[in-house]
Amino acid sequence: MKIGVPRTKHETIARLDDQLREILRGSPSNVEKMATKTGVKDKYAQYHFDKLASACAEFKLAQGHGTKPRGPEPLQTWLAEVRAAMPPVLYNPLLYVDGLDLNSDTPVEILHVILLGFVKYFWRDAVSRQSAKTKQVLKTRLSSTDVHGLGLSRVRAHTLVQYAGSLNGGDFRIVLQLAPIVLQGLIPESHYHGWLTLTRLASLLFQPAILDTTEYMQHLEIALSDFISAVALWNTRWFNKPKFHIILHILLHIQRYGPAILAATESFESYNLVIRLRSVHSPRHAPSVDIADDFSHLHAVRHLVSGGRVDSPEGPRFAGTGVLSLKADMRFCQFMGMSALSAKSVHGHFTRLPADAVTDWTDTLSASSNIPPPLAGCRVIRCKSLILSNGDRAYCTGFILYDIGDDVLRLGEVFEILALAETGAICGILIGEAFVGEAPVPPYNYPSVKPLRRPSLWQERRETSFKEDEILHTASPDDLIMNLAQLRNASYVQQFQPPSDQSLGTRAEVIERAVLNRQYLDAAAANTRERVIVIPSSSAVATTDPPPDTAPVPLSRRRKRAATVNSTNTQAPEAQNTVGRHLDEPSLPKRSRTQKSTRPTQPLKLNGNALMDAAAAVN
């Protein structure tokens, strides 16, 4: 895949003129081919094109019945008369707006391309491969994952797995940040590598600010190249979806407009309810006009109440004191969406521990660390969490990023949060620096985290009647890794991102392996239909790794197969594929004892056309 030659709006209008002339010549059936060849199609103009095509068909039918004169000239004259009765401009009005070019001024929208695109495709594929048993394992992993660092209270594991086909953008945002942790061992290796490259790409795209454009674009270009290569090794059929081509334009759009998140429509999805209500409470003769008028009126009210002015021939005019006083009415501000104007900062707000929160300074961990008290003989409140200046919530025993004034970002574990009992002011946070490993931890490719010191802490846990499965790590329970897939504060977390491992190989190697994989998948799909097993000879894959297990297995067959563990594999049964095969073992249908192969086993051969197609896909 590659980006085509950039278009301009003048070229787009010229291509639409060609299509219109073709219709007026009496050949409306050629318009679809012209649109496919040039890539220019206007939905707005299509309405008028269809009317002209219908008029052309009616005239030709009348010619066949002998009621109209034959020949192309009478038809063209008739179509010209129909065109004259139409509006002078048949194309999208936005094509004629000065300073706006729809070809280059429409940046990639990452909500629908990343979250509702790649993440949705991959998550549905991952869940569909799970049996009932492994679905329960996936739910347990999701519910056992600590998500405090993501700003979440808990994960709705059952919803994310059971209703994988009915999730929204917020759900897919959670999936994107947790998938590398919970999917390891449950999907084939090539699929898992695709998830890793996707999270690396998404963490760069969801950054609200770019500090160093040159360095950022270099990292983004490498991440995008790794993602495309990983998808090619997964299954080249993914490239039939247009969003895998759209994402290639993200580099140019970020250079022109800045961070991709600025053009995301995710923050405006909440207006869907307002728009729908405006449509319901309207005469419904022209809903679009009614919605636009209502929003224009609301915008004018917000402008005046906020202290804005209106220019007039007599000079600028402002709202009076009575109108400006409406800002003090909380109900009015909430109704008008102006609550943020009077919202107070929650920086420094804390949540105290449920029991024995107030204590003497001498009984704190800070005192044990030889830290002097802020006031002699003071009593302090031990806090459970604290809201930081950026709105994040820091939890006791959680991890935060901090610096001590030297512009060096450090990772630390929060041991204690203390506030003065008399005033309620925060007096300090006890942080223990943690060591971030340089070598990434396989298979996650995330850095390891080792606290340099860990005091013994005791925490109370309240027991409830509702029980959920939980994963208990009995071997090395203190082994930690930094989740680099998180989107919040991604610009800071990415400073700990290890360099690209280049494990996918060179471009030529990726192309060759992608071709082998595609041919193998096509053969496996054909064998599934014919119920024939074809095992590739060792000579076919002597120079490359075996194709990943990406061939889909029928659901009924998946459920009937018993999960087994290869005795030579050191992974736990949980880390096996859903049908009891090793992750790199090809997915082939079984045959009954009475069934025989209808053709001899042949090695897979590289096809020249397929090689060229894969080269174009990876390009």
Sign of CA dihedral 556, 560, 565, 566: negative
DSSP code of 381?
E
pLDDT at 15 over 90: yes
pLDDT at 544 over 60: no
Short-list 67, 80, 70, 88, CA closest to 23: 80
| Burial bucket for residue 24 (CB in 10 Å: 0-12, 13-18, 19+) | middle
Q: What is the mean pLDDT of residues 253-263?
A: 88
Q: What is the mean pLDDT of residues 112-127?
A: 94
Q: Which residue has the tokens 């003497």?
A: 360
Instruction: Give the C-alpha separation, 619 to 616, whole Å.
Output: 5
Q: 1 versus 302: which is more confidently predicted?
A: 302
Q: How confident is the model at residue 452 (pLDDT cuts 50, 70, 90)?
A: low
Q: What is the mean pLDDT of residues 325-331?
A: 85
354 within 8 A of 460, measured Cβ to Cβ: yes
Please give the angle made by the CA atoms of 509, 514 and 519, to the nearest 5 degrees: 130
Q: Which residue has the tokens 């804390």?
A: 350
Bridge partners (DSSP) of residue 309 are: 318
pLDDT score recorded for residue 590 = 39
Instruction: Give the C-alpha separation, 76 to 573, whole Å.
Output: 73
CA atoms within 13 A on the CB side of 298: 16
For residue 257, what is the enclosing H or E element? helix 250-257
Task: Determine which of 11-25, 93-107, 451-465, 562-576 has the lowest per-residue pLDDT on average.
Answer: 562-576
pLDDT score recorded for residue 531 = 55
Per-residue b or e along 339-369, where b marks 16 or more CB atoms closer than 10 Å to that residue's CB: eeeeeeeeeeebebbeeeeeeebeebbbbee
Short-list 148, 130, 150, 146, CA closest to 138: 130
Mean pLDDT of the residues in the chain: 77
Please give the angle made by the CA atoms of 203, 205 and 206, to the nearest 5 degrees: 70
Q: 601 versus 9: which is more confidently predicted?
A: 9
SS3 content of the chain, % helix, strand, coil (to 5): 50, 10, 40
Whether omega for the bond prior to residue 443 falls within 30 degrees of 0, making it cis, is yes
Q: What is the mean pLDDT of residues 128-134?
A: 93
pLDDT at 571 over 60: no
Q: How confident is the model at residue 618 (pLDDT cuts 50, 70, 90)?
A: very low
Q: Which residue has the tokens 């521990």?
A: 353
pTM of the model as a whole: 0.70
Task: Determine which of 134-138, 400-404, 475-479, 549-553 has the lowest per-residue pLDDT on average.
Answer: 549-553
pLDDT at 302 over 80: yes
